[in-house]
Amino acid sequence: MLAVTALGFILTGAATYIGFSRLDADYNAARLERKESAVAKSLGFALSRAVGDDVEPSSLSWAVVAGGFADRVVEMEAVHGLPIAVYRLDGTLFVTSSVGPPEESGFPAEVDPEVLVTLADGIARLEVPTGNGDYLAYWYHLNAARLPVALVALRYESRSLEAVVRNEFMRNLGAVFALVFGAAVALAFFLTRSITQPLARLGSRMDGMDVGREVESEPLRYDSAPGDEIGVLVERYNRMVENVRRSAFALAQSERQSAWREMAMQVAHEIKNPLTPMKLGIQQLERRALDADSDPAELKDRIVALSSTLQGQIDLLSRIAAEFSTLARLPQGELLALSLKRLLEEVVLLHGVEGVGPTLRCDGDIEVEGDADQLKRLFSNLIINAQQAIGDGPGKVWVVLDASEQCIVVKDSGPGMTKEVADRVFEPRFTTRGGGSGLGLAMVKAIAERHAWLVDFDSAPDIGTEFRLLVKR
C-alpha cells in the first residue's frame, strides 16, 4: 500500500513538473510573438521618420539615415526589454541597441550565411539557439511594397513562467505529499498491528496446545464481532485441532496395540524354541523311568544329562527375558562426564580378536556426558556385529574417533549387506544368523537416541559396512 501511495506521489509530481514546463514553452512563444510584433512596428516607425515613406535596402546607410535612428533602436530595447540588431540584406551589421562595442552586444558582426540562405528560401522567421535556452530570432523587415529592406535580430532570453509561484507550488505540493504519506504510514502501522496482535496472541496459545493428549484440549478463545475473519479462523482451527487430536489418539492406540501384539508374538516364539526340547527330554525320561527293563545306572546318567540340558535352556530363557526387558526400558543410569577415547580403548581391548581387530584410531578426544555402561554396550554391540559379519572369512574391523567431526565410526571389510537387509537392520528381533537374538543393533539405536546422538550407516555387498555415530554434546 505504501509503495502504491509513494508511486502515486511521484507520478503526480512528475506530471505537475511536465505541465509547468509546457506552460513555460507556451508562455515564451507567446511573449516572443508579442515582442517581435511590437519591435517590428517600432522599427518601421523609426525608419519612416529617418528616411521617409520610401524605404529601400539602400536606405541603410549612415549617409541616408540620420544619427537619431540609432538612438531610436536603443530606446526600443529599453521599452521592449529585448536587445535588437539591424543588419543589411548582405548580412553585415548596421546598428545594435547596445551602447557598447558590437562584440559585446551578443550579436555577430555578420550573419551566418546559412541563416541568409534559409530566409531566402521563404522561411519567414528563423530561431538560432545560442545556449542555456536562449536564442536569436531573425526575420526580414518589409517596406510598404512588401519587399525586404533589412534583416532584424532579437536576442531572446528564456524566462520561466512565474518561477517564484511555481517553486512555491511545488514546495506546498511536496509538503502535502509528505503529510499524506506520513498519514498513510501511520494508518498502515495501526492496521498491521490490529491484524498481527490478535494473530500473535493466537500463536502463543497454539504453542500451549497439545493435540497428543488423550483428553480433549481446551479450545482457543477469541472475542470477536460476528463475521470477523479471525474469529472464523479460530473456530475452524479449533475444529481441526480436535479432529487431529482424535486421529492422533486413535493412531497412537493402534500403534501401541500393534507393537504389543508383535512383541508378544516374538516373546512367545523365543520362549517356545527352548521349551520344545525341554518337553521332549522330559517325555523321554518319563518313558524310560516307567520301563521296568531300564537300567538304573543308565537312567541316572540320562537324568544328569537332561538336568544339564534343562539348566542351559533355562539360562537361555533368562537371557531372552533380560534382553527384551533391556530393549523395552533401558536403565536410566546417571549421566556423567566421560572421555570417549578412554571408553573406546577399554571396549576395543575387551573385544580384540587376533587377525580381525578391532583396530582403534583416535584423532583427538571427545568429552561427553553419558551412561558409561550403556555406551560400552553400544560400542560392544557394533564391534561384535562387525566381527560376526566377517565370521571365518577374511576381513578386519576398525574403530575411528574423529574429534573435529564429533563422530565415531565402526567399520568392517566383511561381506556387507543387501538393500533388503539394510532396510530392516534396526528392527527388533531381525537377524540373519540362526543363533542371534536380533536385538543388538536395535539396542544400539535406542542407546544412541537416549544420548541424543545420530546413528546411520552405509553398506554394500562385498565391500563392507560402516556405522557412524554423530555426537551431540
pLDDT confidence of residue 47: 75
Give the rounded percent of residues in the chain with a pLDDT score beyond 70: 68
Statement: residue 265 has pLDDT above 70 = no
pLDDT confidence of residue 94: 81
Q: Give the confidence band of 459 by pLDDT, cuts at 50, 70, 90.
A: very high
Q: Give the confidence band of 63 by pLDDT, cuts at 50, 70, 90.
A: low
pLDDT confidence of residue 166: 63
Greater pLDDT, 278 or 152: 152
> Beta partners for 137?
127, 154
Greater pLDDT, 345 or 294: 345
Alpha-carbon distance of 208 to 147, in angstroms, equals 102
Statement: residue 359 has pLDDT above 90 = yes
> Is 374 exposed, middle or buried, given 0-12, 13-18 or 19+ CB atoms closer than 10 A?
buried
Q: Give the confidence band of 471 by pLDDT, cuts at 50, 70, 90.
A: very high
| pLDDT tens by residue, 117-168 | 888 888 888 888 877 767 788 888 887 777 888 888 888 776 544 455 566 7
Statement: residue 192 has pLDDT above 50 = yes
Q: Give, in words, the CATH class of 2-161.
A: alpha beta
pLDDT confidence of residue 260: 62
| pLDDT tens by residue, 33-54 | 777 778 878 877 777 776 666 6
Greater pLDDT, 295 or 92: 92
- Mean pLDDT rounded to a whole number for the chain: 77
pLDDT confidence of residue 404: 93
pLDDT confidence of residue 184: 77
Greater pLDDT, 310 or 140: 140
Statement: residue 423 has pLDDT above 60 = yes
pLDDT confidence of residue 164: 55
pLDDT confidence of residue 377: 85
Tracing cell 506520513 back to the chain, one arrives at 182
pLDDT confidence of residue 161: 45
Domain ranges of the chain: 2-161, 210-329, 336-470
pLDDT confidence of residue 466: 95
Greater pLDDT, 111 or 224: 111
CATH 3.20.20.70 fits 336-470, yes or no: no
pLDDT confidence of residue 398: 95
Statement: residue 31 has pLDDT above 80 = no
pLDDT confidence of residue 226: 66
| pLDDT tens by residue, 246-258 | 787 777 777 766 6
Greater pLDDT, 198 or 467: 467
Greatest mean pLDDT among 100-114, 289-303, 420-434, 450-464 lies in 450-464
Residues 20-37: what's their mean pLDDT?
66
Give the rounded percent of residues in the chain with a pLDDT score beyond 90: 13
CB-CB contact of 242 with 217 (8 Å): yes
pLDDT confidence of residue 397: 94
